[in-house]
Structure 1
């Protein structure tokens, strides 16, 4: 079987550099624009055959050039096509100017457009390269189109969405369908941009793969193509210790459920053995609910150090229900040379001294996975969290480099980043995963993959994707307990 290759995600700046490299290599840049415009026109005709009128909105740059090509193709199909432009058409340059000259559809100012029933809008105003709020006349048209529920087909990216961060720049179209070219951009996958793209089509306009690879920024959409070949495999020689022994730390007697969720998820994700390490006060509460998961008393850091000398202990999960404070910090520092998933209370325990954590894991290959949600991320990386110029990808990257750890920056658009700059953007998580205990399950899956020998980045990325698939399987109304039987690994 041929392995499916992960498609790189290029920022608008990187894509612009690829476009320039293509032109310098002798590729006809206008030919690329024509193919892009034709792809947009074809998508509009295919998806909206009942349209009474196509309304093409052309901007002042190359995205506008795509729009002029699309307008010519749509008019040639025999359906009424009108064109509205933003900015002076005589100010267009290069390929966009040529596309304007080749377009037989007369243009009217953007401000004159009044939506009506039966319209389908072709949005070719700005595309992915916009980095400032949309001008007021554009915002007004976006509002009118939205108020009238006119369908929108976006060329490259709905205008008003930042292609680098997915943020809305003042106002943005909500597209029914988006056609982008060669590769997705971060704004297609990060929220809220992802929610405004409708269905996403990535069209190959003919730029050679070698140029895309040369411009790649180590960003990919998360999925088995990234890590599937590193998933642990079972064979006739497999036995429980070969499949890894994971330790999950439990909190006190009134806070034991989170650790059991993590432990149960780890077993489902393939760990050969899972032990809950608990203080004496919570042994009885844990024992009453455990079957396949083992239980060991660990009250203090001295007992922990004595136990972790056992080389068969492969990885650890600390944080779910553990409690915030000095004990958590001491346990984590004792595990500085071991493979560790640090979650929830474990993260918060270092809010006042994040460098203590980062320094402890600074040596060797990255063997720490951090799983912060927005609030926990801000506690560990307060300056990065408030840096408005950074998008989620950049924030996760900076955090991973600082911590020398793999960071799972959680959310509906979870981003996984490694200290070496690799990034995966996750898109398969359903909204009903946002429920109590869901993060404990994710930590357990990540711990299971670490325990089975996967490198930290791949273990984290695989865990996030498997967690998302479990949510899809369990369905709307799920509880964290429902996720456990829904956990399965890609074949």
Structure 2
């Protein structure tokens, strides 16, 4: 799978997502990096691979060569409209599309002004199954009319957004709601204030992607990722920062596999 990296001053978000994906079982993970960010990314990566990706053609060459099942787009990429344009151009290349994508953080904000075009791209035949992971502010940017409707509960807003976007929505917060375009929804109940730390959302996007890369369907992957994310934070306890979360997934995964008798 692949994770898009931002500029040199904002590369950490992609590395957090990449490490979380690897810990979640993604196998081979590649950070797709601008040339300007190769050195800083390379200085921090060991088991995660690194590839130059300045242009859409270079990204498509990676997709052709490695055929990743999943991409993470958004963490640390910047909020400029060009970022959203790049995502739309990538989705236009239907033949090169991976099976699934996770859109987070700046990927949400940068496409918010072109939301209808983005949603239509996700409806096309061959489009990847997609998980979008907005916090409150990002949700209101991308789903403005839904977010402003005070008659709707958070659950109803998430369901409507999922139907409009043709994507699984992870509406983050203390009571994170996961909603599918087919109407299914879940409210996570193991949330913790420990996750109110910079970068934790990048880790969540990586966990989602790691599960998608193993063939899990988008709604189930999102539900499992949200629970695992909070369980890892609770296991670590006070003093948690985002860098701790990928390692904190280990005991959570051990417990899951022990219960399954694996």
Same fold judged by TM-score > 0.5? yes
Distance 2:128 2:15 in 1: 26
1:304 to partner: Cα distance: 1.4
Q: Which residue of 1 aligns with 2:205?
A: 443
Highest relative contact order (Cα 8 Å, sep 6+), 1 or 2? Answer: 2
1:333 to partner: Cα distance: 2.1
Is the contact between residue 366 and residue 404 of structure 1 (CA under 8 Å) also seen in structure 2?
A: no
Q: Which residue of 2 aligns with 1:462?
A: 224
The question of 1:370 aligning with 2:113 is answered no
SS of the equivalent of 1:368 reads strand
Number of residue pairs the alignment of both structures matches: 246
Q: Which residue of 2 aligns with 1:308?
A: 63
Q: Which residue of 2 aligns with 1:474?
A: 236
Higher fraction of helix: 2
Distance 2:65 2:181 in 1: 29
Larger radius of gyration: 1
Distance 2:10 2:158 in 1: 30
1:410 to partner: Cα distance: 0.2
1:366 to partner: Cα distance: 6.6
Deviations 1:395-424 (A, max 9, x none): 000000000000000000000000000001
Of residues 383, 388, 398 in structure 1, which corresponds to 2:160?
A: 398
SS of the equivalent of 2:170 reads strand
Q: Which residue of 2 aligns with 1:357?
A: 118
Q: Which residue of 1 aligns with 2:184?
A: 422
Is the contact between residue 178 and residue 185 of structure 2 (CA under 8 Å) also seen in structure 1?
A: yes
Q: Which residue of 2 aligns with 1:328?
A: 83
Q: Which residue of 2 aligns with 1:270?
A: 25
Is the contact between residue 5 and residue 11 of structure 2 (CA under 8 Å) also seen in structure 1?
A: yes
Q: Where does 1:46-445 land on structure 2 (aligned, <5 Å)?
A: 246-310=1-65, 312-336=67-91, 337-338=97-98, 339-364=100-125, 367-445=129-207
Is the contact between residue 258 and residue 437 of structure 1 (CA under 8 Å) also seen in structure 2?
A: yes
SS of the equivalent of 1:332 reads helix
Aligned CA RMSD, in angstroms, stands at 1.3
SS of the equivalent of 1:277 reads strand
Q: Which runs of 5+ in 1 are unaligned?
A: 1-245
SS of the equivalent of 1:322 reads coil
Distance 1:456 1:352 in 2: 25
Is the contact between residue 249 and residue 318 of structure 1 (CA under 8 Å) also seen in structure 2?
A: yes
1:356 to partner: Cα distance: 1.4
Is the contact between residue 301 and residue 330 of structure 1 (CA under 8 Å) also seen in structure 2?
A: no
Is the contact between residue 366 and residue 419 of structure 1 (CA under 8 Å) also seen in structure 2?
A: no
Deviations 1:441-490 (A, max 9, x none): 00000011111111111111111011011011111220001111111332
Moved more, 280-289 or 301-310: 301-310
Deviations 1:343-370 (A, max 9, x none): 0000000121111110111135870110
Deviations 1:6-56 (A, max 9, x none): xxxxxxxxxxxxxxxxxxxxxxxxxxxxxxxxxxxxxxxxxxxxxxxxxxx
Q: Which residue of 2 aligns with 1:17?
A: none
1:323 to partner: Cα distance: 1.2
Distance 2:130 2:173 in 1: 20
Distance 2:137 2:156 in 1: 17
Q: Residues 366, 297 of structure 1: CA spacing in aligned structure 2 closer, same or farther, 3 A cutoff?
A: closer
Moved more, 251-260 or 298-307: 298-307
1:430 to partner: Cα distance: 1.1
Q: Which runs of 5+ in 2 are unaligned?
A: 92-96, 258-262
TM-score computed with the length of structure 2 as normaliser: 0.90
Distance 2:25 2:85 in 1: 29
